[in-house]
Structure 1
Amino acid sequence: MSDIHIDGLTKEFDDVTAVDDISLDVDDGEFLVLVGPSGCGKSTTLRMIAGLEDITSGELRIGDRRVNDLEPKERSIAMVFQNYALYPHMTGAENMKFGMKSVSDYTDEEIDQRVQHAADILDIPELLERRPSELSGGERQRVAIGRAIVREPDVFLLDEPLSNLDAKLRVQMRAELLQLHREIDATTLYVTHDQTEAMTLGDRVAVLNDGRIEQVDPPQVLYDYPETRFVAEFIGSPAMNTVPVTLRWDDEGVDAVHDNFELSLPNPESFTERPTSGVFGVRPEDISLARNADDVAQTFEAEVSVTEPLGESLLLHCLIGDDELHVKAEARSTIAPGDVVELTVDEERLHVFDSAGEAIYHSSPREAASEDRVNTPEA
């Protein structure tokens, strides 16, 4: 078994708490992504799992072993770093072999067989005799991943491995990583600050902020049902719109009242409490031009301040009083800055957060079926 159990993990650097009492279980064979802004504690968490940072408090188990005090080589893990960490004077094959004998009793012949097998999986046999200076960024990353594969560890740890690649190669490597995970079927923890990588790669995604876990869920659940305002605004590009509203309750339900709009919220029984104010949230793709929507029930007006053609859509920056909404309109819509547009929302995709940033309302119930997500290399 190579599941990971983290209980109350904490890391302090003098008077700074980098990781603050996090608990997390990673299933055997799962691909879990840790995502968050710079300084949130995701890489420190990975380094504690690897044994590269001492644990201040808490318990870390890999399989049935408590590994808090074990050396990195005793943990049956392999780590791929952001900067590849290849020795410049060694060939690709020598880099992949390096360290094998110190952590195993394999013969030279067995090590050579493992290197060749890893090279075949990664489609890099022709790179084995080249030095890092003769390789592109993507090729160096494949060699670094190959060095991890040859050890056949229980757990793979990847710390922002694609951040040094150009945009096109990152998309290609994401697909290859998914295919690789499917072939080797090892427990994998992947750290990134890129929410697109997190959404496309992870079986589940853990969002970190200020050393704490905000939410852990499958990507689509995370997107559709954010448990905090931070998650709502961090996951998605553009981010979820959030504006302050007054909540007006009566016998018929509840209205979200803003200076420039008033919307009746469906399924008021979904509220976890009955506050008089909150923060209303709706994603840009869940706002439409009323003229293009079917069965429009509620509308409001906004002034367009900026337009951004994105190809597949037209992103509108719309002013509603002192607040701004981002709206994804249909591509090639004839709208210019200064135009006043009539908008409507998808009433099944509305959210409300309290003053502390906790979600207290989603207009549609969380569906268990959305948790059954299986990644494909095309994601």
Structure 2
Amino acid sequence: MSDITMTGLTKRFDDVTAVDNIDLETHDGEFLALVGPSGCGKSTTLRMIAGLESITSGELKIGGQVVNDLEPKARNVAMVFQNYALYPHMTGSQNMKFGMKSVSDYTDEEIDQRVQDAADILDIPDLLDRKPAELSGGERQRVAIGRAIVREPDVFLLDEPLSNLDAKLRVQMRAELLQIHREIDATTLYVTHDQTEAMTLGDRVAVLNDGHIEQVDPPQALYDYPSTRFVAEFIGSPAMNTLPVSLQWEGHAVDAVHDSFELSLPRAETFDARPDSGIFGARPEDISLVRNVEEATQTFEAEVTVTEPLGESLLLHCSVGDDELRVKAEARSTIEVGDVVELTVDEDRFHVFDSAGEAIYHSSPRQASDEDRVNPPEL
């Protein structure tokens, strides 16, 4: 078993709390992505698991064993760093072998075979005799991953391993990382600030903010049912629209009222209380031009202030009172700055957050099957 359990895990640097009392449990063999802005504590969490940072308080278990005080080499974890951390005077093969003698009882022949097996998985057998200066960024990353694979660890830790690659190579390497994960079947924690990477790679995604875990869920559930305003605005590109509204109740019905629109919220009985205000949320792709919808029951107008052609769609920045609303319209729509457009919102995709940023309403009930991995949305 290679599951990881963090209970009250905390890391402080003098008067700065980098990781603040987090509880998180991985499943054996899971690919868990940790995502969040710079400084949120995701890399520090990874380094505590690896044993590269001491734990201020809390408990860390790997495979059911408490490892708080174990040396890194005794934890049977392997880490891939953002900067590759390859020795420039060593060949690819030598880099992959480095340290194997100190953490295992393998013979030279066994280590050589492991290196060859890892090279075959990564499709780099022709690169083993080259030094890092003779390799491209993608090839160096493969060697760094190979160095982790040869150890056959219980846990793989990857700290933003693709951030130094160009956009096209990052897409290619994402697919290869998933294939490698399936072949080695080890628990993997992957740290990134790129929410697209997190959504496409993770069986589940943990969103961190300011040392706290905001939400842990499969990608689609995270996208469809954000538990906080932070998650709603961080996950998805463009981000979810969030606008202040008053909530006007009449019996069991409630309307979200903004300076420029009024929308009836379906299934109002799902509210736990009857607040009189909130933050209304709707993703840009869930807002449509009325002229492109067969039947729109709730509509309002907005003035276009900016247009951004994205190829597959046209992103409109619209003015609604003092707020801005982003709308994904159909590609090649003939809309200009200054046009007043009539809009409608998908009633199954309404969200409301309270003043503290906690989700208090989703118009579409969350299904029990959300724990199953599903295909992430196109971002």
State how far apart, in whole Å, the 2-side matches of 1:326 and 1:18 are.
33
**Secondary structure of residue in 1 paired with 2:68:** coil
Query: Secondary structure of 1:96's partner?
Result: helix
Asked if the contact 1:178–1:375 (Cα under 8 Å) also holds between the matched residues in 2, the reply is no
CA displacement 1:324-370 (0-9 Å, x = unmatched): 00000000000000000000000000000000000000001001233
Change (3 A) 1:375 1:62: farther
Say whether the 8 Å CA contact 1:201–1:375 is kept in structure 2.
no
Match of 1:366 in 2: 366
Alpha-carbon offset, residue 65 of structure 1: 1.0
Query: Gaps (5+ residues) in structure 1?
Result: none
Q: Secondary structure of 1:336's match?
A: coil
User: Counterparts of 1:351 and 1:273 in 2: how far apart (Å)?
Assistant: 15
Amino acid at match of 2:170: R
Distance 1:323 1:241 in 2: 10
Partner residue of 2:263?
263
Q: Which residue number in structure 2 is paired with residue 112 of structure 1?
A: 112
Q: Determine the structure 2 residue equivalent to 1:16.
A: 16
Q: CA 1:342 to 1:134, structure 2 compared with 1: closer, same or farther past 3 Å?
A: same
Give the corresponding residue for 1:232: 232
Asked if the contact 2:31–2:202 (Cα under 8 Å) also holds between the matched residues in 1, the reply is yes
Contact 1:77–1:156 (8 Å) recurs in 2: yes
The TM-score, its normalising length taken from structure 2, stands at 0.98
Q: 1:131-190 deviations in whole A, cap 9, x for unaligned?
A: 000000000000000000000000000000000000000000000000110111100000
Structure 2 equivalent of residue 137 of structure 1: 137
Deviations 1:82-133 (A, max 9, x none): 0000000000000000000000010000000000000000000000000000
Distance in 1, matches of 2:371 and 2:286, equals: 21
Residue number in structure 1 paired with 2:345: 345
TM-score w.r.t. structure 1 length?
0.98
Q: Is the 8 A contact 1:92 1:143 kept in 2?
A: yes
Which secondary structure state, in structure 2, belongs to the residue aligned with residue 348 of structure 1?
helix
Task: List alignment gaps of at least 5 residues for structure 2.
Answer: none
Tell me the amino acid that sits aligned with residue 5 of structure 1: T
Residue 230 (structure 1) shift:
0.2
Cα distance in 2, alignment partners of residues 260 and 10 from structure 1: 45
Secondary structure in 1 matching 2:348: coil
Write out aligned runs for 1:1-379 (5 A).
1-373=1-373
- What code does the residue aligned with 1:335 have? I
Contact 1:247 1:255 in 2 (8 A): yes
Contact 1:89-1:131 at 8 Å conserved across structures? yes
- 1:199-258, Cα deviation, whole Å (9 max, x unpaired): 000000000000000000000000000000000000000000000000000025000000
- The sequence identity of aligned pairs, in percent, is 83
**Residue type of the partner of 1:271?**
F
Counterpart code for 1:43: S
